[in-house]
Amino acid sequence: MNLAGRLLNTATIALEARHERRVPFWSAEGIARRQRRHLRAIVAHAYASVPFYAESMRGLGLVPRDIRSADDLALLPAIDATIVRADERQFLSARIAPAHRRALHTSGSHGGQHGAVWWDDRSLLRKLAYAERDRAVVGALLGRAIGHRQLYLLPRAAQSFVLREWWSEWTVNPSRLATRSVVPPETTYEEVAARLRAERPDVVYSYGSYAEHFARWLSARGEEARGPRVWCYGGDGMTRQGRALLERLTGASVLSTYQSTETGRLGFECERRDGWHLNVDLCAVRTVDASGATAPVGREGAIVVSNLHNRATVLLNYQLGDVGSLADAPCRCGRSLPLLRTLAGRRTETVQLADGRTVSGLVLQAECMTALEGALRVQLVADGPGRVRIRAVLPPGTDASFVEGRVSDVVRTTYGESLVATLEPVAALPETVAGKFPRVVRAAVPERG
């Protein structure tokens, strides 16, 4: 894109960002009106151009005007990752030309199923403005809106970096807004702790499992790593104990965001940290019980989402794979966005390296995603220190030895002799009795006679 176009996009997003900063403080009715407007637009778009919804709505005798509110989305067929991955083209809008859409690859954390979710360029660009809602929280904690020194403890394959590359193509990013540095998550904890103490970044970004294990490593050594003022985590969760430990040993205020490839930013914590404020005008959220009926407020249920702003891959009434409960009252911070009070998503286990370090399964999978592209399901089996077996459901006709070579190259380049990875092609990977899919499992230890 030429400079004039990038400057125009930058000015447009800057104006929208100022608007988005205020949206969480609108009245509940104002937010509901915006949600209904977005909902009706996406349903009409889906009916006219997305094969799955055009066929299923006609089969059910539904037309777009029958879906007037978020409650009416329950009239649509319930879908999940298995249904979408079976034929992703059925959920792709014919109105969005290939030149105007880009694919984000799912990590498989929800249901263990990998795939691509296409986003239209306009929606991807507007994510920059929508992110102002949670950036405002960080800014309030730091006492300034711009000029943040940010440190990322994330793999290069993380979607944060993919999005940043695209945004750099479309906008001009003044250096005064933020300075960013990246530390690969395979860096030793000693080095990470030293950088935190020396650089004292304003904000650290990482996966939740990484942050927790780092805190437990500090605690085991009787050390602190004071320096960052805010630590933001997402991707997977932390225990309450791990979070408290991280705050005590780093001095940072720990914040969480809730997002997925299918939805973008679903929710964010405010300064009170009593739950996640849900961006329901961008993505409708409800919880359902085992029968599929809407769960009572305050009771845990499966989280069902409907993305109201992505016009490429359209996903409505989509079961995300997490369990949570909605709060029965608004947050006392003054924001009117509803609260997700609890989130019982899966917390990633870790894989131990031969030199004693550990790496989260989420990080390891993210680093191997390109080599494993096309795999339907992936699970890591920790066979012991320095050894991991990658169990993968590969598409028919895949050359498993070629895929294993690519995976081995990625792991060797990243971890050297500290980790050896092998590939185990399997026909299927079972879920647990609770319906969850464990990302990392431990190899069975033979019983002694």
> What mean pLDDT comes out for the span 153-170?
90
- 179 shares a domain with 284: no
Position 175 in a domain: yes
What distances in angstroms separate CA 261 from CA 196, 239, 243, 309, 321, one per listed residue?
A: 29, 23, 24, 13, 13
> What is the biggest distance separating any 2 CA atoms in the chain, rounded to whole angstroms?
75
Q: What pLDDT is attached to residue 377?
A: 76
Residues 6 or more apart in contact with residue 105 via CB below 8 angstroms: 114, 115, 116, 117, 261, 369, 373
Position 266 in a domain: yes
**Which is nearest to 209 in space by CA: 435, 373, 439, 370?**
439
Q: Which of 206, 232, 260 is the last residue of a domain?
A: 260
The domain tally of the chain equals 3
- 273 shares a domain with 170: no
- 335 shares a domain with 321: yes
Q: What pLDDT is attached to residue 433?
A: 39
Tokens of 162: 């993919």
- 160 shares a domain with 256: yes
Which stretch, 42-56, 93-107, 114-128, 393-407, has highest mean pLDDT? 42-56
Position 249 in a domain: yes
> What mean pLDDT comes out for the span 261-273?
95
**Which is nearest to 36 in space by CA: 70, 61, 62, 74?**
70
> What mean pLDDT comes out for the span 67-92?
95
Does pLDDT of 282 surpass 50? yes
- 233 shares a domain with 187: yes
Position 447 in a domain: no
Higher pLDDT among residues 175 and 260, named by residue: 260
Q: What is the CATH number of the domain that holds 173?
A: 3.40.50.980
Give me the DSSP letters along 349-385. -EEE-TTS-EEEHHHHHHHHTTTTTT-SEEEEEEEET
Does pLDDT of 149 surpass 70? yes
Does pLDDT of 447 surpass 70? no
Q: Which of 343, 366, 390 is the last residue of a domain?
A: 343
Q: What pLDDT is attached to residue 113?
A: 57
**Which is nearest to 108 in space by CA: 88, 85, 127?**
85
Position 448 in a domain: no
Model confidence pLDDT, tens digit, residues 33-60: 999 999 999 999 999 999 999 999 999 9
- Residue ranges making up the domain that contains 123: 3-127+262-343
Position 361 in a domain: yes
Rounded distance, CA 167 to CA 126, Å?
10
Does pLDDT of 187 surpass 70? yes
Does pLDDT of 199 surpass 70? yes
Rounded distance, CA 31 to CA 282, Å?
10
Does pLDDT of 428 surpass 90? no
Residues 6 or more apart in contact with residue 404 via CB below 8 angstroms: 422, 423
Position 231 in a domain: yes
**CB hemisphere CA count around 424 (13 angstroms):** 15
pLDDT band at 445 (very low <50, low <70, confident <90, very high): low
Rounded distance, CA 115 to CA 111, Å?
11
- 285 shares a domain with 245: no
